[in-house]
Structure 1
Amino acid sequence: MAKDYVRRGKPKTKAKPKKASSTRGRAAPPRRLPILPVLLLIMVAGALGYLIHIIKGAAEQKTQTPASVVTTPNKAPAKAPVVANPIDQKPVEKWTYIQQLENKEVEVRLPEAQQSDQRYLMQCGSFQSSAQAEQLKAKIAFQGLSSQVRHASGSAWYRVVLGPYDSKRVAEQDKHKLIKNKAVSDCAIWFWEG
């Protein structure tokens, strides 16, 4: 048997008769005052009042400092001593390092720079033809650096050399500049005495 799912609804049941309410005709019971919240509110208000009373009493005790009055017989009444306000007084420094540091002289000894003939050279290429060495020298010149082509007697190699440099740091800076701009792939740095 085919079921109709579109028109399916709640099954119909017979309505039950409603029971008559037993409170008809009577007045609703009066609402009660919530005792617990009212009691808590009274306790909080009392605690707050007590706290204010304590704070106020402590403040009055601080302002009423008794001034000691010395009375001597046979003398005119003395004036009450002036009590200085501690806020107006300048605090006393209990540290002495401030004066010690102001008067301290520090002697600094720097090591003397060693004067030597050691310098650094940087080789960026070595070629068998002078044309290739001159071509690399031109690339380096476009980067704003000067280089030299050196040919050793009795050797068939032409070396492209930069320097001499006084420090290795300057040589490294030029090396990184050339590699960054792709003028060379790598360079070797070494000591040179002369």
Structure 2
Amino acid sequence: MTNRDYANTKPARKGKVKSKTTRRKSQAPAPRRFPLVLLLVTLGLVSGFGYFLWTINNSAEQLDKTAESVVEQTVVKPTQKQVPKALPPKPKERWAYQQELLNKQVEVDIPEVTAPTHRYLMQCASFRTQSQAEQMKAVIAFQGLESDISKVRGTTGDWYKVSLGPYDRKRQAEKHRHILQKAGIDGCFLMYVKK
């Protein structure tokens, strides 16, 4: 048994069955007529442009002739009073800075370079026992940085602080802090210390 699609087929009319060839003949476009109006408009525009060019053909020469006649009529022979005076002599330069600059010596006061009055320390950890501080110092040493351990007596007892520095510039301290952050040591902070 074959499968037929009854949903997308149109029912055939009883009596007359049209073939596919007759449908194509009825849908053929009608032949186009020659556009007579378009031809007339185009001819009118072309002839108008030709007439415009013909009218301006010699107008430039006529304008030159009329301008020459107007100039000839307005030119009057100059009298002695109307003769322009001669130009004044060229002025001398008043500036002598070029010669002065050739022989000039400039003295500049350069201030002495002074050591910075502040430093930065970076504290990374503080521990209760010295062995924990030594372990942190070893982890920092594996990153290629040198750290110090300092013992501080506080109100709650002795603390061992692991710190880096001192740094003269904050940029160098930040660079070392980023190196330690990549290694997983995130507790470092900068301290501003005056000398």
| 1:12 aligned partner | 14
Q: Is 1:166 equivalent to 2:168 in the alignment?
A: yes
Aligned residue number for residue 36 of structure 1:
37
Comparing both structures, which one devotes a greater share of its residues to helix? 2
- In 2: Cα distance, 1:65 partner to 1:114 partner: 82
| Mapped contact 2:122–2:189 kept (Cα < 8 A) | yes
Matched residue of 1:121: which SS? Answer: strand
**Which deviations, in whole Å up to 9, do the C-alpha atoms of 1:133-166 show, x marking residues without a partner?**
1111111112121111111257511111101011
Distance in 2 separating the partners of 1:190 and 1:180: 21
Task: Tell me by how many angstroms 1:48 deviates.
Answer: 5.3
Query: How far apart, CA to CA, are the structure 1 residues paired with 2:10 and 2:165?
Result: 97
Which position in structure 1 is the counterpart of 2:140?
A: 140
Contact 2:116 2:168 in 1 (8 A): no
Within 2, Cα distance between the matches of 1:192 and 1:47? 93
How many residues align? The count is 130
2:190 pairs with 1:189 = yes
TM-score by length of 1: 0.50
Distance (Å, rounded) in 2 between the aligned partners of 1:32 and 1:152: 108
Kindly report which structure 2 residues correspond to 1:31-180, keeping only aligned pairs within 5 A, or say none: 33-46=34-47, 49=50, 53=53, 61=60, 115-152=115-152, 155-180=157-182
Q: 1:12 to 1:65 in 2, by over 3 A?
A: same
Q: Using the alignment, how far apart are the partners of 2:178 and 2:151 within structure 1?
A: 25
**Separation in 1, partners of 2:134, 2:51:** 98
Question: The residue matched to 2:190 in structure 1 has which SS?
Answer: strand
Query: Does the Cα contact within 8 Å between 2:121 and 2:164 map onto a contact in 1?
Result: yes
**Partner AA of 2:38 in structure 1:** P
Distance 1:165 1:61, change over 3 A: farther
**SS state at 1:186 partner:** coil
Q: Deviations over 1:48-94 (max 9, x none)?
A: 5467x39x969x959x978x8xxxxxxxxxxxxxxxxxxxxxxxxxx
Percent identity between matched residues is 38
How far off is 1:43 after superposition? 3.3
- The worse-fitting range, judged by mean Cα deviation, of 5-14 and 116-125 is 5-14
The one-letter amino acid of 1:38's match is: L
Q: Distance in 1 between the 2:50 and 2:173 partners?
A: 80
Distance in 2 (CA, whole Å) between partners of 1:130 and 1:65 is 108
> What's the secondary structure of 2:158's corresponding residue?
coil
Gaps of 5+ in 1: 16-30, 69-110
Alpha-carbon separation, structure 2, partners of 1:119 and 1:165: 6
Task: State the Cα distance separating 1:175 from its structure 2 match.
Answer: 1.0
Scaled by the length of structure 2, the TM-score of the pair is: 0.50
Q: Measured at CA, do residues 39 and 176 of structure 1 come closer, stay the same or move farther in structure 2, by a change above 3 Å?
A: same
Q: 1:57 and 1:141 mapped to 2: Cα distance? A: 95
What is the DSSP-based 3-state SS (H/G/I as helix, E as strand, rest coil) of the residue aligned with 1:152?
strand
> Which consecutive residues of structure 2, in runs of 5 or more, have no partner in the other structure?
18-31, 69-110
